[in-house]
Amino acid sequence: MIESYLIDKMFNNEPFLDEMATDQGKIHPHWEKLARYYEQIGSDRMGQFHEEVGRQLRENGVTYNVYGDPNGMNRPWILDPVPMIFSSEEWEGIEKGLIQRTELLNLILSDLYGEQTLIKEGHIPFELIYNHGGFLRQAHNIKLDGDQQLIQYSADLARGPHGKMWVLHDRTDAPSGSGYTFENRAAMTRVFPELIRENHVRKITSYYQTFKNTLSNLTTNNKENPRVVLLSPGPTNETFFEHAYISSFMGFTLAFGEDLTVSDGYVWLKTIKGLEKVDVIIRRVDDVFCDPLEYRNDSHLGVVGLMEAIRQRKVLVINPLGCRVLENPGLMAFLPKISKHLLGEDLILPSVATWWCGQPSEMKYVFEHIETLVIRNIYRSTQKKSVFGGDLSKADLETFKREIRRSPFMYVGQEMVEFSTTPSWINNKLEARNAVFRSYVVADSEHKSYKVMPGGMSRSSPEKGAFLVSNQGGGISKDTWVLGKGKESYVSVSKALKSQPLVRNVLPSRTGERLFWLGRYLERAAYSVRLMRLTLLSYNEADEDIHIHDNPVLSTLLQTLTVMTGTLPGFTLQKNLKKPETELLALVHDVNKTGSLAYCIQSFLTNAYSVRDRLSPDTWRILDSISEELTRMRKSDTTLMQAYQSLDNMVVKLMAFYGLNIDNMTREPTWHLLNIGRFIESAANNCLILKGMLSKSFDSESNKELMEDTLRCNESLVTYRYRYRSNLEMHGVLSLLILHEDNPRALIFQLLEIDNHLKTLPNQNEKELFSTERKKLLEAITKIRLCDIELISTPNELTHEFDELRALLDQIIKLLHETSDAIYEKYFSHTETRYSMIQSSVIPEI
């Protein structure tokens, strides 16, 4: 396997700058153990390890979202089983270079938002800074305590043509990837434990502990017990998995912009208990989106008034707003001289060769060599992408040059570095691919220095000869190993965190609302599946020559299905009753049809994804299987028979999700809110099914079939037969499904469960013995307990309608609706305006 790798390199006459081998084709010493291991296990075994690594990541729910990709949401994270490796000797130089670069950028940041002597003395052109979108004038003279302003730093590095590591990009605004790095290492440790031990691969966990210690030391408010939140853009962000993972792993509260508000100069977290003061915000939102009042007024990701709270030193934001100015690629052209000026040292890690077009001589050079350069805008954005001069036609080149001349200070030309290749497992063999290494540096406030993670995340290109390696472009991640024992003794993060003060995590109102709707959509989907299965079974068993509208059982099932799913007019139209196949299939697989099963399950998954930090890894395995089943179910060429099989599979998986959370979730507000949603939805659907199926009397055989289907839909047919041991009678069916407090499918049981869960939630008004929502429930419970079972099970002699039953069920539905509204107002609404992940206009009413 190794020999064929080296032969391929030499046979293809590729530039022989490789991480594993020398230019003579000899294995580097620090790769020798790994190379021998690959030779011993062979291709088949390596392929099995590759599959196992992928399985580990899938089971842990590791995903990455690709913007603009129809399959982008929750795309599985891809990890190459072949790591990137650095020897301890080489890493020592890289580590020193990263610390030096971080210290230099920290000094530049402090100066740019302070005295600005670097600009005044001409070390940095003012046009380069003041025209950059990341230079935030509102942040001038705002600084953290101490000398360290840059708390987190990340750099993309690659090995250049002469074997030296070059810095390609600086990441200072909201560096990402450290969570994926930890998950990569965890997966590799499970699959290759002996290999990691034998190579003395350094642990990366000290990085996370240093970060947590630094946060505690920097905090000025509530220093002993700070409230830390991680501010995320939300579930559609490309790295949302990482946000949820880091917040759960580090014990921070995951928050979106809608979860926070500013009042009295402080930032507050909206929780189900009320407002909780926030001391530290770790932001994963780009700086200009953080405060719509002072920056981008179209942002829904930030917090109105956040900048003022920072000015008043009422909250600490990491990294500080304005750090993105350091990502300006034009700065790279000036860093060598600035390093000599500020540090008295040459840069250990040079930047890729850069020419800023704001200088006439540099612009001239760029124009003369544009076909061999990559041209970048000084402000990175999705609208202003890098341009490879060699890919442009002559006409396009002239047009592009005119654009540069109009605003030369906005552009840089950079050398296209042909960086090294590394072995990657592609097409079931080792192939050479260009790779980029992302490092992570964090401020160590205790020692007044910076600490580098001994490793990081590398990315290799899926295609040969591709030098743009990014996750959005399909890059494959690689664990990065630093060999040899480190200077510090290893202490596990879990052990180290025990020495920190325990801060009881709170439940944001947004998270509570999503859990509430997670429970509701779970139960809504389960009821829809059961009723659809019964309907399809009845339809398939019906005689071909019978008219459906003349079949009271089948027409009642179809019309109840329309009412319960809220997909009116549906089967209330005669044309759909005559030919129900199209509408039935749409109810199963059309995710764009509000109320359909596919819509409910997609909404269930969307809510689950937004609270993934509250769910266990085992739960995510079930969610993945539900998502896979939904993908199969949504196929437009699905037949009714295939749809029935999908319904069978789906109901089992939905119940597995419910059962696992009964077993795994602690009985905290998360559990209670999810179950309040479940039982409200269950009670509402119970009412709708009873109302739709049993509110009219037909012939005795039809009545018997409808009662049996109603019991089946509520999973109570076996219970009925065991309890009554008699033929189906309306009195017994209604008694079992409405009045029996020991039947989990009875309406009274469901209402009592809602009340039991509500009792455990924080009471915001201690003077109130019974809250509004509990009063509504008490009224519904009392109406059921006082109802006359004989009266509601007796039809009107003239109309054959069960008028009293329908009236009772309508009253219960109304009270459930009012209970749901009261819960929302009490626990989820702290302001008049809210940004909802699922628009309220598409949430069906009870």
- 294-303, 654-663, 677-686 — which is least confidently predicted? 654-663
473 lies in a domain?
Answer: yes
Q: Which residue has the higher pLDDT, 223 or 188?
A: 188
Structure tokens at 521: 């959509």
- 383-387, 527-531, 607-611 — which is least confidently predicted? 383-387
Show Cβ contacts of residue 425 under 8 Å, excluding neighbours closer than 6 positions. 46, 50, 80, 81, 82, 431
> Mean pLDDT, to the nearest integer, of 525-532?
95
802 lies in a domain?
Answer: yes
Show Cβ contacts of residue 661 under 8 Å, excluding neighbours closer than 6 positions. 615, 619, 671, 674
For 194, other C-beta atoms within 10 Å of its C-beta total 8
Residue 229 has pLDDT above 70, yes or no: yes
Burial of 840: CB neighbours in 10 Å, binned 0-12, 13-18, 19+: exposed
For 692, other C-beta atoms within 10 Å of its C-beta total 23
123 lies in a domain?
Answer: yes
- 395 with 427, same domain: the answer is no
Query: What are the pLDDT digits (tens) for 448-503?
Result: 999 999 999 999 887 776 555 555 556 789 999 999 876 554 444 444 444 444 44
What's the whole-number average pLDDT of the chain? 87
Query: What are the pLDDT digits (tens) for 751-776?
Result: 999 999 999 888 755 566 788 999 99
- 88-102, 118-132, 766-780 — which is least confidently predicted? 766-780
> Mean pLDDT, to the nearest integer, of 267-292?
93
26 lies in a domain?
Answer: no
Integer Cα distance of 656 and 781 in angstroms? 30
Residue 142 has pLDDT above 60, yes or no: yes
- 689 with 718, same domain: the answer is yes
The closest of 630, 552, 632 to 597, measured between CA atoms, is: 630
Residue 458 belongs to what H/E stretch? strand 456-460
Q: Write the CA distances from 508 to 229, 503, 512, integer angstroms.
A: 10, 15, 6
Residue 603, strand partner residues: none
> Mean pLDDT, to the nearest integer, of 324-347?
96
Q: Write the CA distances from 522 to 491, 527, 588, 658, 677, integer angstroms.
A: 41, 9, 15, 8, 9
Per the CB < 8 A criterion, the answer to whether 568 and 721 are in contact is no
- 247 with 391, same domain: the answer is no
36 lies in a domain?
Answer: no
Q: What is the 3-state secondary structure (H, E, C) of 245-265?
A: HHHHHHCCEEECHHHEEEECC
The pLDDT value recorded for residue 783 is 96
- 492 with 436, same domain: the answer is yes
- 469 with 606, same domain: the answer is no
According to DSSP, residue 450 is labeled E
Residue 270 belongs to what H/E stretch? strand 266-271
* Contacts of the segment 207-211: beta carbons below 8 A, 24+ positions apart: 207/178, 207/440, 207/442, 207/451, 207/452, 207/453, 207/454, 208/178, 208/182, 208/249, 208/250, 208/493, 209/491, 209/493, 209/496, 209/497, 210/442, 210/444, 210/451, 211/152, 211/250, 211/442
- 553 with 411, same domain: the answer is no
Integer Cα distance of 630 and 430 in angstroms? 35
Show Cβ contacts of residue 805 under 8 Å, excluding neighbours closer than 6 positions. 690, 691, 694, 695, 734, 792, 793
Integer Cα distance of 450 and 100 in angstroms? 9
The pLDDT value recorded for residue 303 is 95
The closest of 273, 185, 690 to 482, measured between CA atoms, is: 185
> Whose structure tokens read 């809510």?
607
Q: State how far Cα 834 lies from the chain centre.
A: 20
The closest of 303, 361, 352, 312 to 329, measured between CA atoms, is: 352
The pLDDT value recorded for residue 343 is 96
Integer Cα distance of 7 and 21 in angstroms? 11
> Mean pLDDT, to the nearest integer, of 210-219?
87
Burial of 836: CB neighbours in 10 Å, binned 0-12, 13-18, 19+: middle
Domain count, the chain: 3
| Beta strands at 456-460 and 429-444: parallel, antiparallel or unpaired | antiparallel
- 360 with 476, same domain: the answer is no
Domain that holds residue 620: 509-842
- 244-253, 645-654, 691-700, 767-776 — which is least confidently predicted? 767-776
**How much of the chain exceeds pLDDT 70, in percent?**
90
The pLDDT value recorded for residue 55 is 85
- 289 with 181, same domain: the answer is yes
> How many Cα neighbours within 13 Å face the side chain of 561?
31
**DSSP secondary structure, 541-562, as one string:** HS-TTS-GGG-HHHHHHHHHHH
Q: Is 163 left (phi over 0), alpha (psi -120 to 50) or beta?
A: left
Residue 318 has pLDDT above 70, yes or no: yes
> How many Cα neighbours within 13 Å face the side chain of 139?
26
Residue 361 has pLDDT above 90, yes or no: yes
Integer Cα distance of 626 and 620 in angstroms? 10
Show Cβ contacts of residue 561 under 8 Å, excluding neighbours closer than 6 positions. 531, 532, 535, 570, 571, 587
Supply the Cα-derived Rg of the chain in whole angstroms.
32
> Mean pLDDT, to the nearest integer, of 558-578?
90
Boundary of a domain, candidates 367, 386, 416: 416
Integer Cα distance of 529 and 517 in angstroms? 18
Boundary of a domain, candidates 497, 531, 557: 497
Q: Is 305 left (phi over 0), alpha (psi -120 to 50) or beta?
A: left
Band of pLDDT at residue 14, cut at 50, 70 and 90: low
- 184 with 225, same domain: the answer is yes
> Whose structure tokens read 């909802």?
836
407 lies in a domain?
Answer: yes
Show Cβ contacts of residue 40 under 8 Å, excluding neighbours closer than 6 positions. none
> Mean pLDDT, to the nearest integer, of 638-667?
85
- 281 with 368, same domain: the answer is no
Show Cβ contacts of residue 206 under 8 Å, excluding neighbours closer than 6 positions. 451, 454, 488, 490, 491
- 401 with 533, same domain: the answer is no
12 lies in a domain?
Answer: no
> How many Cα neighbours within 13 Å face the side chain of 291?
19
Show Cβ contacts of residue 92 under 8 Å, excluding neighbours closer than 6 positions. none
The pLDDT value recorded for residue 840 is 33
- 303-317, 494-508, 588-602, 622-636 — which is least confidently predicted? 494-508
Integer Cα distance of 619 and 605 in angstroms? 12
Structure tokens at 286: 């780009």
Tell me: cis bond preceding 569? Omega within 30 of 0 counts: yes
- 611 with 535, same domain: the answer is yes
> Mean pLDDT, to the nearest integer, of 693-721?
93
The closest of 77, 167, 31, 150 to 439, measured between CA atoms, is: 167
Residue 576 has pLDDT above 70, yes or no: yes
> Whose structure tokens read 């962000």?
237
**Cα angle 670-739-809, degrees, rounded to a multiple of 5:** 80
Percent helix / strand / coil, the chain, rounded to 5: 50, 15, 35
Per the CB < 8 A criterion, the answer to whether 356 and 322 are in contact is no
Q: Which residue has the higher pLDDT, 102 or 644?
A: 102
Show Cβ contacts of residue 65 under 8 Å, excluding neighbours closer than 6 positions. 72, 73, 74, 75, 236, 237, 238, 239, 240
Residue 138 has pLDDT above 90, yes or no: yes
Most confidently predicted of 245-249, 581-585, 838-842: 581-585
241 lies in a domain?
Answer: yes
**Cα angle 690-693-698, degrees, rounded to a multiple of 5:** 130
For 652, other C-beta atoms within 10 Å of its C-beta total 12
Main-chain dihedrals φ then ψ at residue 466, nearest 5 degrees: -90, 130
The pLDDT value recorded for residue 172 is 95
Query: What are the pLDDT digits (tens) for 78-96?
Result: 899 999 999 999 999 999 9
Band of pLDDT at residue 545, cut at 50, 70 and 90: low
DSSP alpha helices (H): ranges in 498-634? 509-541, 552-565, 574-578, 581-589, 597-610, 617-633
**Cα angle 461-452-381, degrees, rounded to a multiple of 5:** 50
Q: Which residue has the higher pLDDT, 614 or 59?
A: 614
* CA diameter of the chain: 101
| Beta strands at 456-460 and 411-415: parallel, antiparallel or unpaired | unpaired
CATH code at position 391: 3.30.1490.270
Boundary of a domain, candidates 497, 523, 541: 497
